[in-house]
Amino acid sequence: MTKRLVQGNEAVMLGAVKAGASFFAGYPISPSSEILAQASVYAAHHPEFRFIQEEDEIASANAILGGSLAGAKSFTATSGPGFSLMQEAIGYGHKVGIPCVIVNVMRVGPATGMPTMPGQGDLNQARYGSTGDYTSIVFYPSTVAECYEYTIHAFNAAEESRSPVILMSDAFLGHLNEVADLDTIDVPVVPRTLQPLASGGERLFSGVATYPDGEPATADADEFIRQYYESRDHRLKVAERYNFHEYGWNKDSDTLVVAFGITRRIAQPLAAHFALFRPIRIWPTLDKELTEIAARYKKIIVIEGSDGQYANVVERMLLRRVERVPLLGGRMSLEAIREGLDAIGMLPAEPAPAASRAAASR
Amino acid sequence: MPAKTIVIDGVGGQGVKVIGNTMASLLAVMGYEVTLLYDYDSSVRGGMSEAFLSYDREPISNFVVECADVVVRLADRGPTHLSTDYVIADCDLMRPGEKGEEIPFMQLGVDKFGRDLFGNMIALGRLLCVCDVDFTDQHLTEALPKKYIEENIAAIKYGYGLDQDSIKAIVPEQAASSFAERYAERVLAGTAPAEAVEQAAARR
C-alpha cells in the first residue's frame, strides 16, 4: 500500500499511463494544464511515451486521432473553449471509428467564462457537441482515486467501442489533492486490437459517407442508415458493460437526489435526509437503472453545476417533474445547495439524527 | 470527531500553496486522510488565493470548507461565505469580533531566518500548534522538500513554539503594524514577494 497525496489531474495522467497510453497531444488551458505538464515530464523520462504541445486544441484533437490510427493509445486534455474547438475532430473520430480519450476539466462557461472556477455545464456538449447523430460514452468521477480508475475505464471503453470517449472532470476535482492508494485499484486493461496504419490491408479513414469499397455513398440513405445503426448499436452494447453508478444515502427517504462529480461530494452532509443516485456514466444515460430507482421516490431533485442540463435529461427520461438546484458561477458549496433547496421548498427542516450526522460528515 | 477544517487566505504569490502543500503532505505522512483544494482567481497576478484543507482519520467527502476551525489569513481576500472559530493572521488582518491572534509572519521570516519565505513556515508552525498536530522530526523530514530543509524545520519549530506571551512580545497590542496590508498591496501591484517585504517593512 502506498497511500499518498495525489491531485485529480495527476491521477488522470497516471490512469492513462496505466491504461497503456503512449501519446498525448494538447494545448494548455486552465484548469486542465497539469495533465499536459505531467505528460511532458513523463515523456521526458519515458521515450516510449510521446508528447506534443500543439498550436491549439483543433490540432491537439486531430493529432490524437492520427496517433491512434498509427497504433498508439492516445489522449488529450482540455477545458471550456478548448473543448469547443475539438468538436469537429470528435465527430470525425466517431465517423471513422477511432479509439481515443478526451479529458474535459470543466470550468464556468460559455467562452472564456471563469477559467479557474468549477462548472458542470459541458454535459450536453459532451453528448451533442459535434454535428449529426453519434453515440458518446462519457464518464464523470468524483474522487481523485476515481479519476485514476475511470481514466482506465475510458481507455478501455474507447478501445472496445472504437470511438472517442470523454472523461469529464472539473476545476475542483482536477485541482483537488487527496490521499489515495492507487496501487489498490485494479482495472484490467483492454489491449489495442486495431491494426495500425501501414500494417497491411486496406482501411478507409474518410469522414465522408462511403461504401465499404471506398466509393462515395453521399446520396444513399439506406447505406448511411445501415452504417449508423451498426456503429450506434455496437457502442450502446459496449456502454452497457460500463453502467457505473452509485445508489445510496438514506434509501428510506421519500426524495431522491441526483448528483454527480463534485456536487455529489459537496452534498454529502445531506445524506441523512435524501436517497442518492449518482451517474458515473453520464452518457449514454443510465435509463434502466435510474427509472427503476426513481420509481421508489415521490420527489426527485437534480443538483448540478449547470442550469438544468441533466435535470432536463432526467425529466425527459422519467416523464415526470424534476426539481432543480443549479449551482452557477463557480459557487459550488453546501451553502449554495441549501439555498437552492430552500428556494424550492425542499430544505430539510429538522436536524438529522446524531448517528446520521456523523456519517454525513464523511 | 468531525474533520478538522482549515482555510488559508491570501493573494497569489504569498505562499498559500507552500503552506497548504506542506501541511497536507505532513498530515498525509502522519497517516491522516487529507483533502486540499486550491481556489484562485485567474484574472490578475495577486488575485485571491485560497486553500481549503480538511483532515481526519476517516475519508472526507465534502472538501469545500465553509465553516473553518482555523483560518490562516495572510491577506483578506477570502470567501465571503466563510465562517471560522479561530484566526491566525498577519498583522492588522483580524476582523472585529473574531477570536484569534496576529503575528507578523513575513517580517519574522526576514528577522529570524533572513528571508520572507520562511514566514510561511513560521505560520505553518503556528497553525500546527493551534491544531494540536503532534508531529515528529521524521514526519517533517518526509514531508518537506529537500531544499532548505533545515531552515524550514527550524522555522516551523519556531512558529510551533510561539505562545501567547511571546506573541505579545513580538506584537505589542498598541503597536500593531499594517505590514501585512502594505505587503498585500505591493504584491497586488505586481511587486515580487521578496521586494514587497522590504518595501512594506521600510514604511513601518
Note the pLDDT of residue B201. Answer: 62
> What per-residue confidence (pLDDT) applies to B167?
85
Other Cβ atoms within 10 Å of B47 Cβ, number: 15
Q: DSSP letters along A263-317, please?
A: HHHHTGGGTTT-EEEEESEEES--HHHHHHHHTT-SEEEEEESSSSHHHHHHHHH
* Torsion angle in degrees (nearest 10) through CA of B128, B131, B136, B139: -70
CB-CB under 8 Å, B38 with A178: no
The answer to whether the Cβ–Cβ distance between B39 and A116 falls below 8 Å is yes
Whether residues A177 and B35 touch (CB distance < 8 A) is answered with: yes
**CATH architecture of structural domain A246-360:** 3-Layer(aba) Sandwich (3.40)
Q: pTM of the entire structure?
A: 0.90
What DSSP state is assigned to residue A198? T
CB contact under 8 A, B37 and A3: no
User: CA of A115, closest CA in chain B: separation in Å?
Assistant: 6
Residues of B in contact with A266 (CB under 8 A): 62-64
Q: B4-202 sits in which CATH class?
A: alpha beta
For CATH 3.40.50.970, the residue range(s) in chain A are: 4-184
Q: What is the pLDDT of residue A353?
A: 46
Looking at chain B, the whole-number percentage of residues with pLDDT higher than 70 is 86
In this predicted model, what pLDDT tens digit does every residue of A264-292 receive, in sequence order? 999 999 999 999 999 999 999 999 999 99
The rounded Cα A273 to chain-centroid distance in angstroms is: 28
Q: At B105, which helix (H) or strand (E)?
A: helix B105-113
**Phi, psi for A136 (deg, rounded to 5):** -90, 140
Q: How far off is chain B from A245, nearest CA to CA, in Å? A: 17
pLDDT at B44: 61
Give me the pLDDT at residue B171, please: 72
Across the interface, of B38, B39, B62, the residue whose CB is closest to A269 is B62
Q: Indicate whether B41 pLDDT > 80.
A: no
B2 pLDDT band, cuts 50/70/90, is low
Contact B42 A269 (CB under 8 A): no
Give the residue from chain B lying closest to A143, CA to CA. B61
Of A251-265, B66-80, B94-108, give the lowest mean pLDDT range.
B66-80
Q: What is the pLDDT of residue B46?
A: 66
Q: Are A152 and A19 in contact (CB under 8 A)?
A: yes
CA angle A222, A223, A227 (to 5 degrees): 120
- Check B63 against A178: CB less than 8 A apart: yes
Q: How far is B173 from chain A (nearest CA, A)?
A: 36
pLDDT reported for residue A355: 40
Specify the range with the lowest mean pLDDT, choosing from A196-210, B10-24, B30-44, B75-89: B75-89
Residue B14: the pLDDT is 75
Residues of chain B found within 8 Å of residue A334, distances taken between Cβ atoms: 62, 64, 66
Give the type of residue at A47. Answer: P
Q: What pLDDT is attached to residue A357?
A: 39
B41 to chain A: which residues are within 8 Å by CB?
Answer: 116
Cell numbers standing for residue B54: 480538511
- For chain B, the average pLDDT equals 85
The pLDDT score that the predictor gives to residue B175 is 43
More confident position, B135 or B1: B135
| Other C-beta atoms lying within 10 Å of the C-beta of residue B140 | 19
- Mean pLDDT, rounded, for B121-143: 95
Q: What ipTM does this complex have?
A: 0.88
A219 min Cα distance to partner chain B (Å): 49
The 10s digit of each residue's pLDDT in A316-354 is 999 999 999 999 999 999 999 999 999 999 999 865 544
What does pLDDT average to in each consecutive run of 10 residues of chain A (362 residues)? 91 98 97 98 97 98 97 97 98 97 97 93 97 97 98 98 98 97 97 89 86 92 97 98 98 98 96 98 98 98 98 98 97 95 92 44 42
Q: How confident is the model at residue B178 (pLDDT cuts 50, 70, 90)?
A: low
CA distance A298 to chain B (A): 26
Give tens-digit pLDDT for B104-129.
998 899 999 998 889 999 999 999 99
| Superfamily covering domain A4-184 | Thiamin diphosphate (ThDP)-binding fold, Pyr/PP domains (3.40.50.970)
